[in-house]
Structure 1
Amino acid sequence: MRDDLLVQLQEWHEEDEFQEIVDAIQAIPVEERDYELVNHLGRALNNLEQYEEAVEQFLTVAKEGTGDPLWHYRIGLAYYYLEQYAHALQAFERADELDPEDEDTLEFLGWIRSKMEEPSESAEKPVDTVPSVSEISIAPVRASHLEAMGFWNDSAEAADQYVLAPPTDGQIESMEEQLVFKLPTSYINMMKLHNGGVPHYRYYPVSQVEAAKKVRVEIKGILGIGREKAHSLGGQAGSRYIIEQGGYPEIGVVLCECPSDSEIVMLDYRESGNAGEPEVVHVDKKEGCKITWLAPNFETFIQGLVNEENQPANLQGAL
C-alpha cells in the first residue's frame, strides 16, 4: 500500500498535481507520516508557493534530514523564496558540503550571495520570518528590537516571576560554575537583551519520528540567568531545584517550565559534554521521564517557537 502511494505521489509530482500530493498526505495521521512522506509534502508545498508551511513540515524531520543534501536543498529553497537569505545560504552551503558540485545548489548559492550583497530597502523594518534549522548565532542587537517584534509577553506577572536585569560576565561565570555546564553563547546573548520571561510564542512542533501523543510542546516561561527570581536558573525554583525535587534526569540544565508540573524543556549535554553545544529536549515525568528530542541547539529551538495560531516568531535580525 505504501509503495503504491509513493509511486502515485511521484506521478502527481511529474504531472504538476501538487495539491493532490498535499491532500493525500494530510489525510494520513501525523504520527503515521515518515521521513519520506514529509519530504514529499514539503516539496509539494514549495511548488504551491506555500513556503512557510513547507519549512514547518521540513523542521518536523530535521533530525533525520541532518545528513541528507536533498532535505537541506528543499528547506533552503523555501527560505530563499521567503527572502530569508541568511537561512537559505546556510542550508545550501550544507547541501553543497554533502553533495559537492550539484549544479542546482551552486546556482542557488550564487543567487543568494548576490541578493545578500544588495542593500536592503527595509533594513529598519521587522520582516516576517520562519523558524530556522541552521546553526545561527543570536547576535547582540538592541533590546528594543526583540520587544518591537512582540516576542516577549511583558505583563506585570511575567516580569515579576521571570525577568531579571541583564547578567554581567561575572554572573554568567558564577552560574556556569554552579550548574557545572557551559551555557550556549546564543542563550547568553539573548538573555543579555531580555533576561528570562514569558514569550508570546510558546509552542514547538515535535519531530515527526519523536511524536507519539504530542505533536507540539507548550512552554510556560524561559528561565533567565540569575538567582534573584524563583523562576531563574539559580533561583529557589530554578534548574537544580526542578531536577532534584521533580526527579528529572541529570542530563543538563532546565531551560523552560511547562504548564504541566510533570513536564520541562532542558538543555541536554549528553552528546556534547558539559562544555559543548547542548541539544534541546522535552522531558515528561508522567511518561516515566520520557525524553523527546526537539532541536539540535538553543537558537533553532527559539526560532522554531510558534503562537497558538501556528505563526512563527518574527526574529529577523535578532537571531
Structure 2
Amino acid sequence: MTNPFEPGPSHWTGPAVDDDMVRRAEQTLGYRLPTAYVDLLRRQNGGILEDNCYPTEFPTSWAEDHFQMDVLLGIGHPEGADAQSATLIKEWGYPPVGVVIGITASAGPDTVMLDYTDNGPTGEPSVVYVGADHVKHRVADTFEEFIAGFVPEEEYEEDDEDE
C-alpha cells in the first residue's frame, strides 16, 4: 500500500501509533479496526489525502460520479476517529453502522465510514459513503480496496469546467 497522504504532518496527524493506542481506540469505538487501516496509521496517523477523489457509480452530495474525501482520520488524539466518530454520528445523524474515518470536502452532511453491519464488531468491515440523505452506499469491500481506489482531483476538473 502506497502512502496516500500529502507530504508532512498536518493538524489531522496524530502521534505514532503503538499496540496500546490501537487497543484503547478499539475499546472506545467498540469495533476491531481493520489490519490494513492500522498498518497505514502506523506509517502516518491520519492526515490530508494527496489524491482525494473517489469514483462512484451513484450520485453523491458532491457530484454525479464521485466524492471528495480530504482527510483520513487517525486514532489516539483529539481529531482521531476514536475521539470523533460517536459525536459525528450523533451530530449528523449518520447510520450507527461503525466508525467514521473520513472528512469530506463538505465537512459534515456526508462522510465515509467503516461498516460492520455484515460481519459484526470483530469482523472485516466494508467501507461506505453516507450522503446528506443518510443513506449508506458501499464503495469498497475492504479498507485496503478503498484506499487504493482514490484518484487525483484533476481527473474531475474537466467535468467541472463543462458545467
TM-score normalised by the chain length of structure 1: 0.45
Q: Pick from 49, 68, 71: which aligns with 1:221?
A: 71
Question: Match of 1:220, SS?
Answer: strand
- 1:245 is aligned to 91
Question: 1:153 Cα shift?
Answer: 1.7
Q: Pick from 288, 293, 300: which aligns with 2:145?
A: 300
Q: Pick from 214, 232, 254: which aligns with 2:80?
A: 232
Determine the C-alpha separation between the residues in 1 that align with 2:6 and 2:92. 27
Question: 1:212 Cα shift?
Answer: 3.5
Question: Match of 2:80, SS?
Answer: coil
Determine the C-alpha separation between the residues in 1 that align with 2:51 and 2:154. 10
Determine the C-alpha separation between the residues in 1 that align with 2:113 and 2:86. 12
Aligned length: 152
TM-score normalised by the chain length of structure 2: 0.86
Question: 1:234 Cα shift?
Answer: 2.5
Residues 279, 296 of structure 1: 8 Å contact kept: yes
In the alignment, residue 273 of structure 1 is paired with which amino acid? G
Determine the C-alpha separation between the residues in 1 that align with 2:82 and 2:37. 15
Residues 59, 66 of structure 2: 8 Å contact kept: no
The structure that is helix-richer by fraction is 1
Higher alpha-carbon Rg: 1
- 1:274 is aligned to 121
> Does the alignment pair 1:185 with 2:35?
yes
**Equivalences for 1:144-183 in 2 at 5 Å?**
146=3, 151-154=4-7, 159=10, 161-183=11-33
Q: Percent identity?
A: 30
Question: 1:300 Cα shift?
Answer: 0.5
Question: Match of 2:48, SS?
Answer: coil
Runs of 4+ in structure 1 off by over 6 angstroms are none
1:161-218 CA-to-partner distances (Å, cap 9, x unmatched) read: 2101221101111110110000000000000000000011111111x3xx13531111
Determine the C-alpha separation between the residues in 2 that align with 1:153 and 1:212. 27
Determine the C-alpha separation between the residues in 2 that align with 1:242 and 1:154. 27
- 2:161 is aligned to none
**Equivalences for 1:67-146 in 2 at 5 Å?**
138=1, 146=3
**CA-based RMSD:** 1.8
Unaligned runs of 5+ in 1: 1-137, 139-144, 312-319
Question: Match of 1:219, SS?
Answer: strand
In the alignment, residue 153 of structure 1 is paired with which amino acid? E
Determine the C-alpha separation between the residues in 2 that align with 1:221 and 1:243. 17
Determine the C-alpha separation between the residues in 1 that align with 2:25 and 2:59. 35
- 2:131 is aligned to 284
In the alignment, residue 104 of structure 2 is paired with which amino acid? C
Question: Match of 1:267, SS?
Answer: strand
Higher relative contact order (CA 8 A, sep 6+): 2
The structure that is strand-richer by fraction is 2
- 1:262 is aligned to 109
Determine the C-alpha separation between the residues in 1 that align with 2:13 and 2:59. 34
Determine the C-alpha separation between the residues in 2 that align with 1:290 and 1:258. 16
Distance 1:212 1:164, change over 3 A: closer
